Homo-oligomer: A and B are copies of this chain.
Amino acid sequence: METIKVLLEDQEIPRQWYNIQADMPTPMRPPLHPATGKPVGPEDLAPIFPMNLIEQEASTQRWIDIPEEVLDKYLIWRPTPLCRARNFEKLLDAPVKIYYKMEGNSPAGSHKPNTAIPQAYYNKIAGVKHLSTETGAGQWGSALSMACQMFGLGCRVFMVKVSYEQKPYRRMMMNVWGAECIPSPSNLTEAGRNVLAEHPDSPGSLGIAISEAIEDAVSHPHAKYSLGSVLNHVMLHQTIIGLEAQKQMAKIGVCPDVVMGCAGGGSNFAGISLPYVRDRIHGKSEVKIVGAEPTSCPTLTRGPFAYDFGDLAKMTPLLPMYTLGHDYVPAPIHAGGLRYHGMAPIVSHLVKENLVEARAYHQLDTFEAGVMWARSEGFIPAPETDHVIAAVVDEARRAKEEGKEKVILFNWSGHGMVDLASYDAYLTGKLLPYEMPDEEIARALRAISGFPKP
């Protein structure tokens, strides 16, 4: 009997998050106010976020204490196990050892509660009564619903319409946790009404849903907005994943050669990788760090590094990031969490600095990898997670070709229990591969051609 899991006891949970803004080798470009072209200040963000989170957003303090109240909730499912995927290794028959961080056994089924819990907490202590947010596949919306319920806040979630229809269980889950879930574009906001006027059948996008949620928050008293990815404080909260993984790898004396995650807005990928990026920056390791994205929304692999809005209705500041253009509506693939036109500025900056690389995978290849995983390791991954599993398969193939032994660590970001309709479509031959055509990218990028250059 070989040991498969490396555990941490409750009292071994990390007490601080890691803030990579303290260690960036070159300064990050600031977000800009679209009207003035000047860096945004705290006062610009105050209508949508509480001041304690705005401070975290801009902080350059390396370690930030995790509040006791947040730790208490984290302990419901954290620390998560680090697992060795021996059955999957056998199937691949390549010279690789594969470890994964199991983020799929949180109550909401993904890594998203890692930031939902602290965001609800910080809003609560700032006197906020109600949060509005958007969600793609529903992972984020359900996580925030749960967190708001735990801290006694109201919660309204705008869910990208195509996912709302494909994944009815996600809406029900949010309802169980006491939240309201609305398909976006909706008639509740001006942003939504404008889209519907032009495209009554719009499948929605994260960009549109973000506009709706921000508008909803700023137009209600005691309400704020909450974002499940992209922003610096979200990446910060997710570093608990990588910090635990490093403790666990140290326990067994193993160092990864490659660290991988799927990348939509960037949060689960940043979560596992930022503590390893730190080691690279400090010259302590040569670990390769790889993000996996869909070919239908190839932000890092085919988009430019540019200033762009985070949302369709141009309500956010201009963010320095890889982007496909804020009005890009990706094909309705099943990995809704990866259908975002932009990428976290932190992750974008690291790609720009060649500390992190990206690869894109076709939808069919990702489901093939996910089914292989389910049939060997049992757990059924979320369609988003299938992308990193496809990247692991790819990396194992490369290792075999090169005849090199490799240790792979990846983030098993969420389970697919409420995404089974997409597996059904795959298994019955109803899914098609989709690659974004060049002319579509060119068109989308025209929307940002007049913006300041980073």
> Shortest distance in angstroms between A175's beta carbon and chain B's nearest beta carbon?
6
Whether, in the assembled complex, A63 has its beta carbon less than 8 Å from a beta carbon of chain B, the answer is no
Q: Given the interface contacts A175-B427, A378-B146, A423-B172, does A3 sit within 8 Å of B10 by beta carbon?
A: yes
> Shortest distance in angstroms between A70's beta carbon and chain B's nearest beta carbon?
10
Whether, in the assembled complex, A377 has its beta carbon less than 8 Å from a beta carbon of chain B, the answer is yes
CA distance in complex: A73, B376 (Å): 10
Whether, in the assembled complex, A448 has its beta carbon less than 8 Å from a beta carbon of chain B, the answer is no
Contact in complex: A371, B3 (CB < 8 Å): no
Interface residues of A in 163-191 (CB under 8 A from B): 169, 172-173, 175-178
CA distance in complex: A75, B107 (Å): 21
Give the contacting residue for A172; candidates B10, B105, B109, B420; CB below 8 A.
B420
Closest chain B residue, CB of each to CB of A173: B420
Give the contacting residue for A9; candidates B7, B68, B86, B380; CB below 8 A.
B7
Give the contacting residue for A417; candidates B5, B76, B418; CB below 8 A.
B418
Give the contacting residue for A169; candidates B73, B108, B169; CB below 8 A.
B169
Give the contacting residue for A149; candidates B5, B11, B375, B417; CB below 8 A.
B375
Contact in complex: B7, A76 (CB < 8 Å): no
Contact in complex: B1, A417 (CB < 8 Å): no
Contact in complex: A420, B420 (CB < 8 Å): no
Q: Mark A72-100, 1 if CB is under 8 A from B, else 0.
A: 11011100000100110000000000000
Q: Given the interface contacts A77-B378, A107-B379, A169-B417, does A423 sit within 8 Å of B176 by beta carbon?
A: yes
CA distance in complex: A167, B76 (Å): 28
Contact in complex: A150, B87 (CB < 8 Å): yes
CA distance in complex: A76, B1 (Å): 12
The residue among A175, A377, A380 with the most chain B CB atoms within 10 A of its own CB is A380
A72: chain B residues at CB < 8 Å are 1-2, 4, 86
Q: Given the interface contacts A75-B4, A177-B375, A418-B169, does A107 sit within 8 Å of B380 by beta carbon?
A: yes
CA distance in complex: A106, B109 (Å): 12
A77: chain B residues at CB < 8 Å are 378
Q: Given the interface contacts A4-B76, A150-B87, A417-B169, does A105 sit within 8 Å of B107 by beta carbon?
A: no
CA distance in complex: A323, B429 (Å): 45
Contact in complex: A107, B378 (CB < 8 Å): yes
Give the contacting residue for A375; candidates B109, B178, B427; CB below 8 A.
B178
CA distance in complex: A72, B5 (Å): 11
The residue among A76, A105, A150 with the most chain B CB atoms within 10 A of its own CB is A76
Whether, in the assembled complex, A126 has its beta carbon less than 8 Å from a beta carbon of chain B, the answer is no
Give the contacting residue for A75; candidates B1, B371, B374, B417; CB below 8 A.
B1
Q: Given the interface contacts A4-B75, A72-B1, does A378 sit within 8 Å of B150 by beta carbon?
A: yes
25 A-B pairs with C-beta separation under 8 A: A1-B10, A1-B72, A2-B72, A3-B11, A3-B75, A4-B10, A4-B75, A4-B76, A5-B10, A7-B9, A76-B377, A106-B378, A108-B378, A146-B374, A150-B375, A172-B420, A172-B421, A173-B417, A173-B420, A175-B424, A175-B427, A176-B374, A176-B423, A177-B375, A417-B418
Known: A105-B105, A173-B380, A177-B374. 18 other contacts (CB 8 A): A1-B10, A1-B68, A3-B9, A3-B10, A4-B75, A4-B76, A5-B10, A76-B83, A76-B87, A107-B378, A108-B378, A113-B378, A150-B376, A169-B169, A172-B424, A175-B424, A176-B371, A177-B375
Q: Which residues of A contact B (CB under 8 A)?
A: 1-5, 7, 9-11, 68, 71-73, 75-77, 83, 86-87, 105-109, 113, 146, 149-150, 169, 172-173, 175-178, 371, 374-380, 415, 417-418, 420-421, 423-424, 427
